[in-house]
Amino acid sequence: MAVETKSKVVVGIVGCGVVGNGAVRLLVENARWIAQRVGAPVVLKSVADIDWERPREFPVPPELRQTDAETVLADPEVQIVVEAIGGTGAARRVVEMALSRGKSVVTPNKELIAKHGRDLLASAAQKGVDLMFEGAVGGGIPLIKPMKESLAGDSIQRIVGIVNGTTNYILTGMARENRDFGEALAAAQQLGYAEADPTADVEGFDSLYKIAILAAIAFGSWISVDQVYHEGITRVTAADIRYARQLGFAVKLLAIAAHRDGALDMRVHPAFVPLDHPLASVGGVYNAVMVRGALVQDVMFYGRGAGAGPTGTAVVGDVLDCARNLLKGAAGRVPCRCFRQLPVLPIEQVVCRNYVRMQVTDRPGVIGKIATCFGNRGVSLASVFQPDAEVGDHLAEVVWITHEVPEERMRAALADIRGLPEVAAVPAVIRLEQGEREQ
């Protein structure tokens, strides 16, 4: 049966890096298929980038190439602008300009949405256009739309995810090869899985932006990223990963957001995850997010969190959604629905179990003294374990697992312990994430 096609929708892309190029490919190669799905041709008219010399996986047809974003933004025919520049400088100006001119906007830019999404969505609502950002979290994994639409009837309680492929690749490599962080990072950089400047990924910023976006949608409250505790993976060692495995855990960089008693427990940090937890087996560059709703219970999303194909697919899915809305006169159909401002719990008040690795003088009574310090601060211990590791200088490595304890008590105990003459170093404190699944 022939599909009726009316008019057309015109798209312009600003920024033709990996993701922009992936979106160009899909819009060009799948144009016929897309027209059938949308009910009208979705025409890519122009792609702006400052550098057309560098090689790209998909050659952009010369007639589409522009060197100035303004050419795209000023074109009255362009109804949808894709921002694929990244960062919050030029990208922010492009998005603001496009919205102010009444164009719908699609962006996979997590930093932009996490930091300025509230204002940008308000501009979009004022103009009655769409601002969509499916590609900002989890690359090709559908997450934003399921959270905004499919799960909107339930009350979301908790989101726990691995939302950064670079760090997951590094941690997986460290576990597999028994390597320390620096070595695993260098290997990831050589293979192109980590950037030359890996700060945003390895220090947890990328995960922070992504969990802030998911939490805003899930809990209806904008999150100020400055309020969210984040810790990267640079201090995780091969020894921690080895001990984790001996104790039945994997080490993962988790992004967590949970709604409890009118406040949000939000954080990004490396965590011990039980080996039978679904997130423990998420390896390499893959991402996975578990969402728990009061009635839907656990829902898990899994897939590739980055790259031309995955993120390009998310971007083009949004473009098609914007196009459908424009054709139906329904642009702005799913606006920002943040209706409250929930406080984010300071990390000191967050309650966790903990793994602690320390190097101590190897003589009778030392473990007792340390246990007393924990006890004095109300930290209950679940186990202590002395691996056979040689740390030299008559020092022994001792590993502790605590029961759940507020972070501030944990910190107080560790300050006391660090002051003991028998304690040479406390190189690792890693939180344990047990999960709250139904068994």
Query: CA–CA separation, 391 vs 387, rounded Å?
Result: 10
The single residue among 12, 165, 232, 270 that binds ligand HSE, judged by CB under 6 A, is 165
Q: Is 107 in the site for ligand HSE (CB under 6 A)?
A: no
User: Cβ closer to ligand HSE: 114 or 370?
Assistant: 114
Question: Residue 256 is encoded by which pair of tokens?
Answer: 């967590």
User: Cβ closer to ligand HSE: 15 or 165?
Assistant: 165
Question: Residue 7 is encoded by which pair of tokens?
Answer: 């008019």
Q: Is 212 in the site for ligand HSE (CB under 6 A)?
A: no
Q: Is 166 in the site for ligand HSE (CB under 6 A)?
A: yes
Query: CA–CA separation, 287 vs 164, rounded Å?
Result: 6
Alpha-carbon distances of 397 from 120, 136, 358, 369, 379, rounded to whole Å: 51, 42, 6, 15, 20
Q: Which of these ranges, 23-31, 58-66, 158-166, 236-244, lies near ligand HSE under the rule CB under 6 A?
A: 158-166
One of 103, 115, 127, 210 is an active-site residue; which one?
A: 210
210 part of the active site:
yes
Establish how many alpha carbons lie within 13 A of residue 115's alpha carbon, considering only the half-sphere containing its beta carbon: 13
**Cβ within 8 Å of residue 380, ≥6 positions away:** 374, 402, 403, 405
The single residue among 14, 228, 236, 306 that binds ligand HSE, judged by CB under 6 A, is 306
Name which of residues 188 to 207 contact ligand HSE (CB under 6 A): 201, 206
Q: In which element (H, E) is residue 218 found? A: helix 205-219
Q: Is 407 in the site for ligand HSE (CB under 6 A)?
A: no
Q: Is 164 in the site for ligand HSE (CB under 6 A)?
A: yes
Per DSSP (E only), the strands in 203-334 are 229-230, 249-260, 263-274, 286-293, 297-304
Kindly state the smallest distance separating residue 335's Cβ from ligand HSE, in Å: 24
User: Cβ closer to ligand HSE: 134 or 206?
Assistant: 206
Q: Could you count the other beta carbons within 10 Å of the beta carbon of residue 37?
A: 14
Residue bearing tokens 């969402």: 291
Q: Is 66 in the site for ligand HSE (CB under 6 A)?
A: no
Q: Is 305 in the site for ligand HSE (CB under 6 A)?
A: yes
Q: Is 325 in the site for ligand HSE (CB under 6 A)?
A: no
How many residues in the shown chain lie near ligand HSE by CB under 6 A? 8
* Residue of this chain nearest to ligand HSE (CB atom): 166
Name which of residues 353 to 392 contact ligand HSE (CB under 6 A): none
Query: CA–CA separation, 345 vs 10, rounded Å?
Result: 45
Question: Nearest to residue 360, comparing CAs of 396, 414, 385?
Answer: 396
User: Cβ closer to ligand HSE: 201 or 318?
Assistant: 201
Query: CA–CA separation, 222 vs 228, rounded Å?
Result: 12
Query: Contact positions toward ligand HSE, by CB under 6 A?
Result: 110, 164-166, 201, 206, 305-306
Q: Which residues are catalytic?
A: 210
